[in-house]
Chains A and B, each alone.
Chain A
């Protein structure tokens, strides 16, 4: 069974440019989460999808970040325009929804974003 897949693994862009990160969750997982770790800090929650709906986007830092999950399958996270402080590793995770309970989340390998 394929795990959570993220693309690209690395991205280097200039300040002001746009970048789109993609996450393919484990097949059948309704929950999809985005997290990020900026240099030297903790891994922080960004948002949570249940199928195609945004369940919680309280962690999104500002309106330069836009996440979508059309059709409830893969998700994209767009940063436009990118700023230097957006540099870090962006993780995607997915988990199953079993009744009212969520199983443990499985993470992708992350996308390392560098804004120069």
Chain B
């Protein structure tokens, strides 16, 4: 069965600091997708990234970067030079192609960026 673990329940940083959110997953499938979603105070879940299991290249999008390592079953998310607007709950999720693409979520990490 699939499982996603976000060990950090809450992180507090000061603006301009770099911060890494950890995500570890378990799956028996060889084909799967990993996701990150952001939940700002307004409540909706905002899609950030999807990565398939065959693509281990790291990705950078502005101040955001993702490090996918199959050897450690991790898909960590780094925010560089954090800003107050980055304050949100961040969810890591996994979907298996053989499971209808339903998402299994981690418990979320609440990030607080203080000015």
Contact = CB atoms under 8 A, between A and B. Distances in A.
B100 A43 contact: no
Contacts of B71: none
A67 interface: no
B84 to A, nearest CB: 21
Interface in A1-27: 3, 9
Contacts of B43: 9, 89, 109-110, 112
Given A104-B35, A104-B50, A33 B102 contact: yes
A9 B44 CA distance: 11
Contacts of A44: 105
How would you classify the secondary structure of chain A's contact residues: helix, strand, loop or mixed?
strand
Interface residues of A, number: 27
A95 interface: yes
Interface of B: 33, 35, 37, 42-47, 50, 91, 99-108
Interface of A: 3, 9, 31, 33, 35, 41-45, 48, 55-56, 59, 89, 91, 93, 95, 102, 104-110, 112
